[in-house]
A and B are shown apart, each in its own frame.
Chain A
């Protein structure tokens, strides 16, 4: 029995300690981010590996998500004779929810895991310590550009996802199922508000980008420097990012769209 409480206490303390280390790490990244501004080359390299290489998975997933939404939405809406509102349904669900959330989940799987593995391996092979020996701050040189790249890429990828998804819904709804082209767009424009829908979706994706980049980099930086430690850290990045994204999404949705 005492053993159980001992373990519970140990777990609680270690998770608080980790939260504390994570917060200190975040403060370090944020202060180091200023140092990236005079060296844009570092940021562009990371934008390439974080953003450009995620481009394909985001656009293809966006296209298919939009097409599925168009197909499913059409079957449900045609029961009510309201096929004309298909555009509203596809665009609202993409811009408000699916765009930011699904692209953040894909981003965590595609870019987040790569960041953790890279940083974890750098730590395991003592490259980070080596940099410190040469008086180069690894937070400034390695971590901060990656954080900024994730933070910048995420809203851009979410915007791509939503736009491609709306086009995918158009291909299925208008092209294949015969919804009227004009009402697909006009009902969408009449129902979606720039401030309430688009801006809130972008804010969501910015928050997710911040959270995923932070988690991925911290897990890598905090990994036990063995091959097993790195593999565990990579798994934790994907799992924790997914939890964080979905939890934050609920909170943000309640704040933005609920009448609280």
Chain B
């Protein structure tokens, strides 16, 4: 009888430890804690070139993450990249907000930085951002630099 009891306790401990490990993985290792089931609304922005932007890339204002990219597609008539973003509902943005694609660090991932303008009206769900700045493609910048240098000489 004593033996069964110890066995039960050990099995219970084992299961408890494992569930703690699963919880640890969900909360500490992955980003589950950062993404609670907040309600979001969609806005879109058109870029000439969205560079290395990916679905789930962060969208931030003044360095604070307020949402993420949910879809990237191409506009067949204007050949522009159409980026859909999910913004958390507690954040309202003026309707003259501008969007730029930046890179975090030299080799880091690309993200969208939003710069709010001075308008009094907020952007509506499914609205579009008109002022955008494309991703900087490193090769283009280097090419431009070399071209300017050669022209100056």
Contact = CB atoms under 8 A, between A and B. Distances in A.
Interface of A: 44-45, 47-48, 51-52, 55, 80, 82, 91, 95, 156-157, 159-160, 162-164, 166, 185, 188-190, 192-194, 197-198, 202
Given A47-B11, A82-B107, A198-B25, A160 B31 contact: no
Contacts of A160: 17-18, 21
Given A44-B7, A48-B11, A159 B29 contact: no
Contact of A51 (B11, B22, B31): B11
The range of chain B's interface size is: 20 to 34
Contacts of A188: 29
Given A52-B10, A198-B25, A189 B18 contact: no
Nearest to A54: B14
A192 B29 contact: yes
A47 B32 contact: no
Contact of A159 (B10, B21, B30): B21
A159 B25 CA distance: 8
Interface in B53-87: 56
Given A52-B10, A156-B22, A194-B31, 16 more contacts: A44-B8, A47-B11, A48-B7, A52-B14, A55-B14, A95-B25, A156-B19, A156-B21, A157-B18, A160-B21, A163-B21, A188-B29, A189-B30, A189-B34, A190-B31, A198-B26
Interface SS majority for chain A:
helix
Contacts of B56: 193
B28 A185 contact: yes
